Amino acid sequence: MAKENIKLIANNKKAYHDYFVEETYEAGISLKGTEVKSLRMGKCSIKEAFVKEKNGDMLIYGMNISPYEKGNIFNRDPLRVRQLLLHKKEIRKISQDSQRAGYTVIPLRVYFKDSLVKVEIGMCKGKKLYDKREDIAKKDQRREAEREFKIRNFKA
């Protein structure tokens, strides 16, 4: 079994803060022209992006791929709608799940898997304010515990 070579391009940390990620899917993405060169340089943002199903296709809205500097007339609109490449069965399941109240589909990360650009999308349920506060408190406790552990081990 060959080891997969994965290089991260963009990560959506805000999604983990604002949503509970219940299920993840790996999808290919349909790109045009110089967009791949721009991605190789790491010029991508998925902070404001979301995924919707339209006419049997999964489309990603709000994904910003900055124009390639040397692309001149071949550059596309950085915020254009892009098609995600998934199996029909996956598309059906994702669109049914996203119809439930409080659920949305959000891109979590964009990465190169060998030479292909992949997008990891997640079925997410929105967090309430108290859930966010709870997560922050847990993170602070864990950080404090790690600091205490480090100090104890350093003195010994």
Dihedral sign, Cα of residue 117, residue 91, residue 18, residue 140: negative
- Fill in the DSSP letter of residue 69: T
- The pLDDT of 137-141, averaged and rounded, is 91
All domains of the chain in start order, with CATH: 6-127 (2.40.280.10)
64-91 pLDDT, tens per residue? 988 888 877 778 788 899 999 999 999 9
Res 130: pLDDT = 82
For the whole model, what pTM was predicted? 0.80
- In whole numbers, what is the pLDDT of the chain averaged over residues? 88
Name every residue whose Cβ is closer than 8 Å to that of residue 143 and which is 6 or more positions away in sequence.
none
Judging by beta carbons within 10 Å of its beta carbon (0-12, 13-18, 19+), is residue 22 exposed, middle or buried? exposed
Among 88, 2, 71, 4, residue whose Cα is nearest residue 34: 71
